[in-house]
A and B are shown apart, each in its own frame.
Chain A
Amino acid sequence: MAEATQPAGVPASGTPAPAATANVPDPVAAGLWRASWRAIKSSWAGRLSLLTLVLIVASSLAAPLWANHVADSGPLTNHLTDQIRLNGELTDVVSFEGIPIGPTGQKRFFLGADANGRDIMVRLLYGGRNSLQISLVATTITLLLGTLFGLIAGFFRGWVDSVISRGLDILQSTPIILLGIALGVATALGGINLGIVKIPGDSLFIPALIIGVIQTVYVARPLRGITLSLRERPFVEAARSQGATNMRIIRREILPNLGTSLLVLAPIIFAQTVSYEAALSFLGAGVQPPNPSWGTLISDGLDVLVSAPHLTIIPGAVLAAMVLSLNLLGDVVREAIDPRGMVAAAQKDEH
């Protein structure tokens, strides 16, 4: 190398440039979370998106409170024939012509009713609750499965890697959303019956499972790449020379170093999951009616867009705000803990 050929004791020269060019984010310090938090706190995009996120999550959690103590109606309760007092006058919740009441600004029917006379505000809150529950479970499944497959493929290489990588190739060569629709529809009717475990067709766990599984590829690919380069790093070599077993190397050396990648990927995957759930539910392959979710609310809303545009606009805006906040938060975190874009590079290399 250059150093060896130098006759004089002067270090090799070059224009001033950032040195280190490792393939992997730096080994984890406990400071990942703290660094992310600092970055979020110090940028307005981070603060704004965190605030939005907290508001949406908190209001979804508070759905039962609003339903029981304010609106006095459940998410599935019909008020087709009811009347409420509006500006001192008794008004039909759904008129004779079938037109539902608009936003009242009062406790009951704050955002109006839908064609079945259900309280939209209550449904919106419960819809968010459903969407978020599904997304949270699905994201967890994706991260777990993705880490598992990526780690195994990248660490053991050889035929294990070939099998997993080809499998991921195949997953990626089908329009994944279609796979989701097919699975969603097929399971919505009969539920899932695995002998010991039976899941009914209208369970929220079904869309969560489907979305969680089919998104695995987005985590497995980059993590495989990162693991491949991690296993060549000196500290793994050192552990191996001290006689550490594969399990121990994975647990003690590789896994902790995947932290950065997971933390970078998590918000983006979460955002993608939320969009996905909405899309599937919109097409009738996710949350099954009459259960609300952001996707089904938009789908219902589009049917009456002419008479009641707010039924489309409001759930869509909340959904967009949620996804946008997660993406922004993901950006802020990535810039803070992976400024050189290693994780993004690993994602790209795999194509």
Chain B
Amino acid sequence: MTAPTAPTPAGAPDAASDLLLDIDGLGVAFPSERGPIHAVRDVRLTLRRGEVLAVVGESGSGKSVTALTLLGLTRGRGTAITGKAEFDGIDLIGASDSQLRRIRGKRIAMVFQDPMSSLNPVLRIGHQIAEQIRAHEGVGKAEARKRTIDALTEVGIPRAAERVDAYPHEFSGGMRQRVMIAMALVCGPELLIADEPTTALDVTVQAQILDLILRLRDERGMSVMLVTHDLGVVAETADQVAVMYGGRIVEQAPCDELFADPRHPYSWGLIGSIPPLTGAKPEYLPTIAGTPPSPLALPAGCPFRARCPHEFEQCAEVPPLAETAGAPGHLDRCWLPIDEKRIRRAGADGRIGLLHDAEATTEESA
């Protein structure tokens, strides 16, 4: 097809010069009647070519806002965007709307959560894909149509030459998400941002869509930023993982490293709440007590403070996102010393370190 980039083996970052995305100190604040809502604060992320970066967190953790901000889709009246976000050396924050427009869909493409509502219901899918090609490349209608059919074939839509003239409501959810992916990839982007691409789909279809994204990544060597709340998806796909909480990144590590040695108590909770595939089923799955904080009323200091059973005085200050000795590229935002973390994680009921119900937690943290 159209992507000329040579395939790069999965998860094999080359040199530092391969840096594609460089985010540092990114902050996004939306205006509201009760003052600004700081949806994203001080986010630092890097993504190399060919790499899959997973951004994990609960709803309201700021992960989707981070992704949308890269494309300028959070711009609007009153939104305050600060910090740095460079894509292949281009400043995405300072770029003009028309500069960004040339990048969107062409060099950075996005797949959204809900394929049901993300396609325009009144336009043929072929038209919706072709208009993107024609917006970025000076090709004729016939050529755009041909490439649209190729793109649909590539994402596994049968009889693409006929289906190109169908409307979104004539497709199933999984097929619509394939259409969204075809649309995203049709101009050969270097970065694909996938915002919860499988959340709205059936479990069997989820796996197919993830496989598709990974296969295309392998074939084209593009980078993928996968925004998700689903750690199962993360474990299967990601090279790097960033865990977000309350608008901040609380832990960042290579994927295997994170699952083997999670450092932040919030990550312990996340990983602990996955049921084990082998061995005896536990009587109950540990959960994280409490609810995510409202972005309007974030606690001062560490954002996870209010729900963390290990909170102590120092947590009143925001911990830095720091690398701890022994593991390059593994950063976390917690004041506890590394040894203490390991002891606590191992100590409390197996590997979790979080208490099991809200009552106990309130007693503990009171």
With A5-B206, A7-B275, A9-B273 as contacts: A16 and B65 at CB distance below 8 Å? yes
In the complex, which residue of chain B has the Cβ closest to the Cβ of A16? Answer: B60
Interface: A245 (CB within 8 A): no
Interchain Cβ contacts within 8 Å, total number? 64
Pick the contact of B230 from A6, A14, A15, A16 — CB < 8 Å?
A: A6
**B-side contacts of A7, CB under 8 Å:** 230-232, 274-275
Residues B270 and A8 in contact, CB atoms below 8 Å apart: yes
In the complex, which residue of chain A has the Cβ closest to the Cβ of B198? Answer: A5
**A-side contacts of B307, CB under 8 Å:** none
Residues B203 and A5 in contact, CB atoms below 8 Å apart: yes
State which size class the interface on A falls in. 10 to 19
Interface: B202 (CB within 8 A): yes
**A-side contacts of B59, CB under 8 Å:** 11-14, 16
Pick the contact of A8 from B63, B206, B274 — CB < 8 Å?
A: B274
Pick the contact of B199 from A9, A13, A15, A16 — CB < 8 Å?
A: A13
In the complex, which residue of chain A has the Cβ closest to the Cβ of B285? Answer: A9
Interface: B200 (CB within 8 A): yes
Interface: A2 (CB within 8 A): yes
Residues B273 and A10 in contact, CB atoms below 8 Å apart: yes
- Shortest beta-carbon distance, A1 to chain B, in Å? 9
Residues A2 and B199 in contact, CB atoms below 8 Å apart: yes
**Complex CA–CA separation, A8 to B63 (angstroms):** 17
With A13-B57, A14-B113 as contacts: A8 and B64 at CB distance below 8 Å? no
**A-side contacts of B275, CB under 8 Å:** 7
Task: Enumerate A1-37 residues with CB–CB distance to B below 8 Å.
Answer: 2, 5-16
Interface: B295 (CB within 8 A): yes
**Complex CA–CA separation, A84 to B295 (angstroms):** 76
Task: Enumerate A62-118 residues with CB–CB distance to B below 8 Å.
Answer: none
Residues A10 and B229 in contact, CB atoms below 8 Å apart: yes
Interface: B242 (CB within 8 A): no
**B-side contacts of A11, CB under 8 Å:** 58-59, 229, 292
**Complex CA–CA separation, A5 to B201 (angstroms):** 9
Residues B196 and A13 in contact, CB atoms below 8 Å apart: yes
- Shortest beta-carbon distance, A16 to chain B, in Å? 6
**Complex CA–CA separation, A266 to B282 (angstroms):** 60
In the complex, which residue of chain A has the Cβ closest to the Cβ of B273? Answer: A9
**B-side contacts of A5, CB under 8 Å:** 199, 202-203, 206
**Complex CA–CA separation, A15 to B193 (angstroms):** 14
- Shortest beta-carbon distance, A19 to chain B, in Å? 10
**A-side contacts of B355, CB under 8 Å:** none
**B-side contacts of A13, CB under 8 Å:** 57-61, 63-64, 113, 196, 199, 227-229
Interface: B361 (CB within 8 A): no
**Complex CA–CA separation, A6 to B201 (angstroms):** 11
Residues A14 and B64 in contact, CB atoms below 8 Å apart: yes
Interface: B39 (CB within 8 A): yes
**Complex CA–CA separation, A295 to B228 (angstroms):** 65
**B-side contacts of A16, CB under 8 Å:** 37, 39, 59-60, 65, 295
Interface: B362 (CB within 8 A): no
Interface: B226 (CB within 8 A): no
With A2-B200, A7-B231, A8-B273 as contacts: A15 and B288 at CB distance below 8 Å? no
Pick the contact of A15 from B64, B200, B232, B274 — CB < 8 Å?
A: B64
Task: Enumerate B56-91 residues with CB–CB distance to A below 8 Å.
Answer: 57-61, 63-65, 68
**A-side contacts of B61, CB under 8 Å:** 13
**Complex CA–CA separation, A201 to B227 (angstroms):** 74
In the complex, which residue of chain A has the Cβ closest to the Cβ of B57? Answer: A13
Interface: B128 (CB within 8 A): no
Residues A9 and B287 in contact, CB atoms below 8 Å apart: yes
With most chain B CB atoms within 10 A of its CB, the pick from A5, A9, A11, A16 is A9
Residues B273 and A12 in contact, CB atoms below 8 Å apart: no
**A-side contacts of B285, CB under 8 Å:** 9
**Complex CA–CA separation, A9 to B288 (angstroms):** 8
Residues A8 and B232 in contact, CB atoms below 8 Å apart: yes
In the complex, which residue of chain B has the Cβ closest to the Cβ of A15? Answer: B64
**Complex CA–CA separation, A12 to B59 (angstroms):** 6
- Shortest beta-carbon distance, A305 to chain B, in Å? 48
Residues A10 and B199 in contact, CB atoms below 8 Å apart: no
In the complex, which residue of chain A has the Cβ closest to the Cβ of B39? Answer: A16
- Shortest beta-carbon distance, A10 to chain B, in Å? 4
In the complex, which residue of chain A has the Cβ closest to the Cβ of B201? Answer: A5
**B-side contacts of A14, CB under 8 Å:** 59, 64, 113, 196
- Shortest beta-carbon distance, A13 to chain B, in Å? 4
**B-side contacts of A6, CB under 8 Å:** 229-230
- Shortest beta-carbon distance, B279 to chain A, in Å? 16
Residues A10 and B58 in contact, CB atoms below 8 Å apart: yes
**Complex CA–CA separation, A13 to B59 (angstroms):** 4
**A-side contacts of B232, CB under 8 Å:** 7-8
**Complex CA–CA separation, A13 to B58 (angstroms):** 6
Task: Enumerate B261-293 residues with CB–CB distance to A below 8 Å.
Answer: 270, 273-275, 285, 287-288, 292
- Mark each residue of chain A from 40 to 73: 1 if its CB lies under 8 Å from any CB of chain B, else 0: 0000000000000000000000000000000000
With most chain B CB atoms within 10 A of its CB, the pick from A2, A14, A15, A16 is A15
In the complex, which residue of chain A has the Cβ closest to the Cβ of B195? Answer: A15
- Shortest beta-carbon distance, A15 to chain B, in Å? 5
**B-side contacts of A2, CB under 8 Å:** 199-200
**Complex CA–CA separation, A11 to B231 (angstroms):** 12
**Complex CA–CA separation, A9 to B356 (angstroms):** 12
- Mark each residue of chain B from 45 to 64: 1 if its CB lies under 8 Å from any CB of chain A, else 0: 00000000000011111011
**A-side contacts of B39, CB under 8 Å:** 16
- Shortest beta-carbon distance, B227 to chain A, in Å? 8
**A-side contacts of B65, CB under 8 Å:** 15-16
In the complex, which residue of chain B has the Cβ closest to the Cβ of A2? Answer: B199
**Complex CA–CA separation, A6 to B61 (angstroms):** 17
**A-side contacts of B230, CB under 8 Å:** 6-8, 10
- Chain A contacts to B: CB under 8 angstroms: 2, 5-16
Shortest 4 CB-CB distances between A and B: which pairs?
Answer: A9-B273, A13-B59, A13-B229, A7-B232
Q: Could you list 24 examples of A-B contacts with CB < 8 Å?
A: A2-B199, A2-B200, A5-B203, A7-B231, A7-B232, A7-B274, A8-B230, A9-B287, A9-B288, A10-B57, A10-B229, A10-B230, A10-B273, A13-B57, A13-B60, A13-B63, A13-B113, A13-B196, A13-B229, A14-B59, A14-B64, A14-B113, A15-B68, A16-B39
9 additional contacts (CB under 8 A) given A6-B229, A8-B230, A16-B59:
A2-B200, A5-B202, A8-B274, A11-B59, A12-B59, A12-B199, A13-B196, A15-B68, A16-B295
